[in-house]
Amino acid sequence: MARVDVRPARQPAGRRVASLLTASLAIGALAAVAAPAGQGGAPRPAAAVAAATDPAGEPVGGTPGEPSPTDPTPSAPPSTLPPPETSAPAPTPTEPPEATAAPSTGAPTTTAAPPPATSPTPGADRPAPGRLGVRVTTQDVRLTEAYWSARSTTTTLRVTVTNTGEVAARMRLAYALPPGVTDAGTAGCAPAGGGDHRCGAWETAPGARFSTLLRVRVDGAAWHRMPLNGTVRVSASAPGAPGSADDREGFAVLFPPGPPVPGIALRAGEVAFDIGGNASELDVRLGNTGRVDAAGRIEVVLPPGVSVPAPPAGCAAVSATRTRCDVGTVPSGEAATLRLAVAATAEAQRAAPLAGAVVGRLDPRGGRARQVQMSFRITAAAALETSVATPAPVGSQGLIAAAGPAAFGAGGSVRQAAVALIAVSGLLVALALGLAVASLRRRLAAPGDPAPPPVPSD
């Protein structure tokens, strides 16, 4: 009987190669499908609309908000002049004056006109928009001794604005005046009610800096309301840049000691909070320039958010913002010195500079009491921080977006995740092809199968 050589049939190598290729292509297809889906679930950060970075709360004196449709529209930005330490010209406004708006003066000049911004094509790859930034600084309204003999005093408030961003931006300026202080006709600005004033918008190049003078009038009876504080606010925006950048700074209305009364002298130092916001000290000196001894009393009045947390011996809190101290008998020709620890909330420090007030009183034996009062300045290092635009949070709530920057780095995004998946699938495909080629080479290099033995005949 003939023997039959039965050996297991060898599976072709092509099947294994096909399996590897199929798995790799499936992974690549899933990655390609995941990329559009992830991008569709989360808008690109460049197209997001960011919220303005206003500090929390409102500073003393009120903060002007954005103009409403019923607010008056100024015809031009306020008249500008070079900053104190530079002679560079100020920017030129881009909006033409309106016939029905408030009066305006000559337009400021600019060093370089920014290129017109273009609207990006939806879905097209483009670099991230430049960062917005703005900084405003103010000087104080300082009154001289002449204030006490005038019915009102007209003076100026100097404001300096700097474009601290990376793009050309449109600046808008607004300011709030405290009670007893009114605008004296600042060109390019118009009242908006409640002490608020708004000025026209103008373009500024990155790094541009300029100053303007706001004309204000202080009423002859305003000293009864001290301390007086106001606020200046500047907003920067640019086409193609998300959100806006805002900065604000307070200003103090500082009164000299008075009304002038013979026989008494009063001086108060400045309060300055460091970057840590730690408590500072206020020094007050009450002098007796009369001929007889007198009992002395000092009263400190602070703006909201600023207080004396632990009054020393002889002092007591009359209210949340008022502390009264008895300094004892002040001999003729001498002075009493009072030192108080003063604290401030973070909101009050951001609103600085602010003003406080001290009231000095002397009660001589057998004579009339004498009293004067004055303002002092409150500053804080926290108010010097530059404000920039912060985009609003964007992204999908899916798995890739949930991984966030920890998975994809500080600038991680859905697009980067998709690229990473596609790259991994490409490596798998290359590996599969390499294995297939190696398998084929081994098969071709192997010796041929030996011929089957002859079958013996019967």
> Is residue 246 a contact partner of residue 387, using CB atoms and an 8 Å limit?
yes
pLDDT at position 184 is: 94
> Angle at Cα 174 formed by Cα 171 and Cα 180, nearest 5°?
160
- Distance CA(323)–CA(333), nearest Å, equals 26
pLDDT at position 21 is: 55
- Distance CA(191)–CA(193), nearest Å, equals 6
> Angle at Cα 397 formed by Cα 392 and Cα 400, nearest 5°?
105
Cβ neighbors of 124 (< 8 A, separation 6 or more) are none
- The helix (H) or strand (E) run that includes residue 370 is strand 370-380
Residue 276 exposed, middle or buried by CB count within 10 Å (0-12, 13-18, 19+):
exposed
- The helix (H) or strand (E) run that includes residue 408 is helix 399-408
Q: What is the DSSP string of 152-185?
A: EEEEEEEEEEEE-SSS-EEEEEEEE--TTEEE--
- The helix (H) or strand (E) run that includes residue 407 is helix 399-408
Q: Three-class SS of residue 235?
A: strand
pLDDT at position 420 is: 67
> Angle at Cα 13 formed by Cα 12 and Cα 14, nearest 5°?
90
Low-confidence ranges of the chain (pLDDT < 70): 1-129, 383-421, 443-458
